[in-house]
Amino acid sequence: MRRWLAVFAGLALIGGTTRAQARQVGSSSAQNPAIIFTVPGPQTVTLTACNAAGCTSTTNTVMVLDPRPAVSTFSVTPAQLEQGQSLLLDASASGAPPLSYTWQVLSGSVVVATLLGADVTWPTTGAPPGTYTASLTVGNAAGTATSSATFTVVPASSTQFFTVTPCRALDTRLTSQPLVGLGLPLLIAVGGVCGVPMGARAVAANVTVVGPTAAGYVAVYPSDFAHPTVSWINFGAGATLANGGVLPLSTDGTARLAATANLLGTVHLLVDVSGYFASPGGIPPAAAELPGAARRDPIPPSLQGRKGAS
């Protein structure tokens, strides 16, 4: 004879003290029973098998997950952007699948956009300047969970290109801190470096990868974005490759870039600056040059790439 016993173990508040409690939620004498737990958390299941010679028991603990959705991560970046830039909306959630993700962008109480998916973008072209709210609803058969954040759209302003004496803004070989594949982003100071002012909006730069230990790619993007939307350069193991172009800087006043690497290993990164874009009135160039200036911040990377020039 076999007998199954399922027990829920939890905590109860009794007389101002927290005490452990357990209660039986089901039992069965079937060989392969099905028991439905109605409370998430650790559950104890005991099997007792008996015959004429006696009985033996074995016990296991199973973790029952909460089927209701809960938002795990949520980001709306950048917090301030110009008309024409794209807003990045990223989230993840727990709960019984399938989970649906519905984003709404609101101006006051007016819904101006509805987007579906965990990771989406909203182009601000044509959006009036002002403060907006990005609202997320995650749902499944067990319920819904919500989260929201505000962001600001400012008017697009014209820029003018200013040249600087070619200058190396970053060389990770000097700091002995190569980019680590699938690691934290490297934040790169550009404003205040190589004659680029803090008010710069973008830089003309050449990005070089040196000594990658495996094939992969590097993405370079404004540091106030949660993740890159394209790759900047692809490479093979051991290659030295460069790609030049205009790199937008963060709009949070720090004038920084971020870089992430997607490879099983490490790669060194060089950034050479030849000019910058700023307001037509111009800003006196910064005097400081900090060749190795960079630091790492815990911004979760979520790499979505296209092939970069090699």
φ, ψ of residue 272 to 5 degrees: the values are -110, 125
The pLDDT tens digits for 83-125 are: 988 999 999 999 999 999 999 999 999 999 999 999 999 999 9
Residues pairing with 216 in the sheet: 235
3-state secondary structure of 173: helix
Residue that is written with structure tokens 């958390």 in the block: 41
Closest by CA position to 134, among listed 234, 144, 120, 230:
120
> Cβ(144)–Cβ(132) under 8 Å?
no
CATH number of 160-296: 2.60.120
pLDDT of residue 20: 36
Q: pTM of this prediction?
A: 0.69
CATH number of the domain located at residue range(s) 70-154 in this protein: 2.60.40.10
Q: What are the backbone dihedrals phi and psi of residue 182, each rounded to the nearest 5 degrees, phi first? A: 60, 20
Instruction: Return phi, psi of residue 185, to 5°.
Output: -65, 150
DSSP-based three-state secondary structure for 174: helix
Ranges of residues in the chain with a pLDDT under 50 are 6-22, 283-310
Report how far residue 58's alpha carbon sits from residue 45's, in angstroms, rounded to the nearest whole number.
8
Four-residue CA torsion sign, 188, 194, 200, 204: negative
